[in-house]
Amino acid sequence: MKLILISSPDNIENETQLLTDFFHNGLEILHLRKPSFINDDYRNYLKRVPEKYHSRIMLHGGHPLKDEFNIRGIHYSEKKRPIVINKVSGIIQSTSFHQLQQLETANPILDYAFISPVFDSISKSGYQKAFEINKLQHAINKAPIPIVALGGITPGRIPELKSIGVMGVAVLGAIWMSDTPIKAFLAMSDACNQ
């Protein structure tokens, strides 16, 4: 099962050093999401991450930088997702959904999609579980693209999510809100690899 880390929306002390440590410890995919960033902010951030890890980064903003950096791909938020999505050679494209019925009509050009919140969010107070697990499984089975679970993911919930057929899990709060982020990341990674 794939483990995807979403960056904290806020700036964290020594954040790019922590990311380098996550990558060094096996992080395959980072979704770089900084809602307050403009293109120059994304550019400056990427320059602080070792170039050898750029190919593991999905951009939630600063999409034009895909031509400047060797990034993994781009992510379309639900609000900013274009009506027409064209295949971009060499670039992974993903999006987010918040309703199960959206999964069945997902654009097959996309490489995967997040569905959230699967459980009560750790990082967003009041952002509660939106789906019954059996209904989520049914929607995943009908989806034309792989689905990634997001929201309230902990290592203990990984086996249940594996059993319903998600491609992976995306985490934010369980890592960034931990007193020991590297230890939390390794625990999540171990659960995904079992």
> pLDDT tens digits, residue range 72-119?
999 999 888 888 888 888 899 999 999 999 999 899 999 999 999 998
> Distance between CA 111 and CA 125 in Å, rounded?
30
Residue 123 tokens read as 């990082």
**pLDDT higher than 90, residue 183:** yes
CATH of the domain at 76: 3.20.20.70
Q: Is 73 exposed, middle or buried (0-12, 13-18, 19+ CB in 10 A)?
A: buried
The boundaries of the domain holding residue 109 are 2-193
Query: Of 105, 96, 52, 53, nearest to 74 (Cα)?
Result: 96
**pLDDT higher than 80, residue 190:** yes
> Distance between CA 58 and CA 71 in Å, rounded?
7
Phi, psi of 58 (to 5 degrees): -100, 130
> Distance between CA 60 and CA 72 in Å, rounded?
12
Domain count, the chain: 1
- The more confident residue out of 82 and 48 is 48
| Mean per-residue pLDDT, 116-136 | 83
Whether pTM > 0.75 for this model: the answer is yes
Q: Beta strands of 33-166 (E only): which ranges?
A: 57-59, 73-76, 92-97, 112-115, 147-150
